[in-house]
Structure formats: C-alpha cells, structure tokens
Amino acid sequence: MSDLPALEPLDDDDTRTIFVTTQRTVQAAPIEWVHYVLVAEGPERGLRVPLGANPVHIGRRAPCELVLADAEVSARHCELRLAEGELDAIVNDLGSTNGSYVDGRRVTGSLRWPPGASLQIGRHVLKHEYRPLREVQRSAELDRDVRQASRYLQSLLPPPLITGPVRSDWVFVPSAQVGGDAFSYGWLDDHRFAIAFFDVCGHGIAAAVHSVAVLSALRQRTLPGVDFADPAQVLAGLNDAFPMDAHAGMYFTAWGGVYDRTTRQLSYASAGHHPAFLVEAGRRSVRALATRNPMIGAMRPERFATARVDVPAGSSLHVFSDGVFEVRDTDGRQLGLDDFTPALLEPALPGVTEPQRLFDKVRRACGGAEFDDDVSLLTLTFLA
C-alpha cells in the first residue's frame, strides 16, 4: 500500500504538472571520531599523534611517543591520557623543569585538557583535537600534496654554484611549505651572467602556482621579443605576460641583473622590489641597487628604468625577499630593511654560507619565532 496521498483525477484541460517522488531513507555511514595531539606552534609544528587507549608521553627523548626537539622540554615531560568515558584528556606533569600549562594554567599533578584547549610545553604549543577520522585523513593527504609541491618548486631553483667566476649560495624557506618567492640565474653566453629574483604577493599555494609560471618563463626564456641580456626588457616582458587582471589579481615584485665579466659591470632593474645590495670584498662599503619601476602586473609604464654599476673583483651581491626583514624582534618591535642591512657588512663565519649567516641572524633577532612570510636569500660572489 502506498504512503503517498491520493491524487485527485486531472481534467483534460488541466495544465498543471505534478512531480511525484518517494521518500528515501538514507543510512548515514557511522563517523569515527578520534582524539589527536597536534603540535600547533613551535619548531615541530604540524606533528599530529593519535590519543587513544594508551597514554602518550611527551618529552625530549625516546621512548616518549611524542618527541619534541626542544631544550626547554624535559626528557620525560608529561603524560596525556583520555579521561574514561569523557571527551577531556588528562595532563599529568612528570616533574618537568619548566612545567606544563593548559590554557595558561600550570599543571600541578594532573589537570583536565578539553578538546580545543592548548597545552604549552617549552617552546611548543599543543592542541587537543577531537575530529572525524576521515577529516584528518583528508588533511594528511593535502599536507602530502603540499610537501610534494614544495619539493617540486625547490627542484626548479638553480643549484648553488661552487666553481667558476661567479659563485652562488641561497636559503629558501617558504612560510607555509610553499610560497611565492623564486629566483633563477645562469650564463647567457661566455661572458654574461643573468640573475632574476621575484616575490609574488602573498604566500601559500596560490602564490606558489603563480611563481612556477613566472619561473618557467624565465628558465625557458619564453618571453616573446625579449633580449634576456637587458634587465629592462625582461621586466617589460614579464609585465606584458603577467597582468594582474588575468592572474587572479596577483602581482609580483622583481629584481633582475646581468653581469658582464668583460666590462665588470652589472646592469640591473627592479620593479616594486627593495634594493639588492653590492658589498665589496673588504666589507667596508655597501651599495643599494634599485631602480624605480612599478610592481609587475600592476600597470603599464612606458619604459622600465635600468642602471649600471661597476663590480670590483670579490664583490658580493645580496638579493632577498622582504620576508627576511619584515619581522618583529623579541620586544615586539616591527623591523625593516634598515635594521637588516648592517648585517651585510659583518664578518663571514667559517663554514657558514652568507645567506645562512644572515638568515640565522634574523632568526635570532626574532627569538626563533617562525617567519610570517616566505624567506629567500641569494648571494652571488663575482670572483672575476
């Protein structure tokens, strides 16, 4: 017997259309919920460990189930276990030196740790998650894809040059595993060496996708009608190829140069990018190299301005993204380019590349905190 209401018979001239359907009973698949300990902040950010029937021990060394490489974490710092029949976890401090803090409250003995609450241990902040298993699995898949994208982008960057008249080193640290900084360099012919550095607005996946497109155009030299030995033409070509209206409103800043070893001159042009810096071999002077052009993709200037500088033997050129210096120090003070540039004249450190030395200095200035923006530092040394 149908459960549908009886329908009145239609007259021949009735123009109504009646849709008849049947009620469907959908059997929802059971959702499995799981507790997790997520490292939300700190050097080990991103680690996620399930919290189930067995307790999770956190400490600086194995056999803890969650090992945090953190000098402020005790060898066996605390234990986490689920409260039976409840959603809360229990934090049991194991006599740690620096303590454990649940939402800012120090754990003396044991303390409840509800889902969503924070647990600070050393320089790390952990979160208690209670999430569907399938959702966590999808996040993990996305994380794997992002890491793969990051490896791909890094593979497109040129390797450091350890031989020849021009040497190079670099540091590349995207803020979100992938970002919009990238650079390329290489010999155009037997005496001209080209450099291109750019920074797509924002960071993350969208910026990375755009930077790959720009990097490919530079690596493959596919900008039509462009003499790649002329930095102004390169910038103009990029500007024509990547208008922000056609690229989801994205623009990028750029710095380009061509070094001619026969004349020992560097011609350069920048577009919305802070200066690169040329430091002579004795580190007694530094020269800012920039020309005033709008960011790539934002406008259509009549021409891009270039300039030229002599390069004494042994000079180093430092090109870097603004993520290097737009940081806050340990007092919360916002730093700028002028706070960073004095470091360029400081002595080299044995066994440490210049980009690494500069990166470490900035990281110390902001107390080891993670960078908000992508960080790229490129140093080229012109030996001959």
Binding site for another protein (CB under 8 A): 199-203, 244, 249-251, 253, 271-274, 290, 292-295, 298-299, 322, 326, 334, 336-337, 372-373
State in angstroms the smallest separation of the CB of 322 from another protein: 8
Angle, CA 312 vertex, CA 310 and CA 316 arms, to 5°: 100
Please state the closest distance from residue 213 (CB atom) to another protein, in A.
17
| Beta pairing class for 66-67 and 56-59 | parallel
Q: Pick between residue 280 and residue 372 the one whose CB is nearest to another protein.
A: 372
Contact 296, 253 (CB under 8 A): yes
Q: Least CB distance from residue 303 to another protein, whole Å?
A: 13
Find the shortest distance in angstroms from Cβ 292 to another protein.
Answer: 5
- Whose CA is closest to 212, among 165, 273, 125, 154? 154
Q: Which is nearer to another protein, 266 or 271 (CB)?
A: 271
CB 126 within 8 A of CB 40: yes
The 3-state secondary structure of 278-334 reads: EECCCCCCEEEECCCCCCECCCCCCCCCCEEEECCCCEEEEEECHHHCCCECCCCCE
Distance CA 165, CA 313 (A): 10
Q: Please say which residue, 88 or 372, places its beta carbon nearer to another protein.
A: 372
| CB of 237 or CB of 323, closer to another protein | 323
- Give CA–CA dist 217/214, Å, rounded: 5
The nearer residue to another protein, 59 or 202, going by C-beta atoms, is 202
Residue number, 125 or 337, with CB nearest to another protein: 337
Q: Cα separations (Å) of 245 from 202, 208, 226, 368? A: 16, 18, 22, 38
CB nearer to another protein: pick between 188 and 369: 369
Question: Which residue, 81 or 274, is less far from another protein as judged by CB?
Answer: 274
Measured CA to CA, the distance from residue 100 to residue 238 in angstroms comes to 52
DSSP-derived letter for residue 42 is: S
How many of the other CB atoms lie within 10 Å of CB of 82?
Answer: 19
**Residue 301 CB, nearest approach to another protein (Å):** 9
Q: Output 88 or 339, the one with its CB closest to another protein.
A: 339
Cis peptide bond N-terminal to 55, omega within 30: no
Q: Rounded to an integer, what distance in angstroms lies between the CA atom of residue 367 and that of residue 375?
A: 16
In the block, which residue shows the tokens 């930077």? 211
Give min distance, CB of 8 to another protein, in A. 51
Beta strands in 53-180 (DSSP E): 56-59, 66-67, 78-82, 89-93, 100-102, 105-106, 110-113, 118-121, 124-132, 166-173
Shortest gap between Cβ of 334 and another protein (angstroms)? Answer: 5
Question: Is the CB of residue 113 less than 8 Å from the CB of residue 103?
Answer: no
Is-contact 90 110, C-beta < 8 A? yes
For another protein, the closer of residues 140 and 213 by Cβ is 213
Taking the complex as a whole, the smallest distance from the CB of residue 298 to another protein amounts, in Å, to: 6
Please state the closest distance from residue 294 (CB atom) to another protein, in A. 5
Instruction: Tell me how far, at minimum, the Cβ of 10 lies from another protein, in Å.
Output: 51
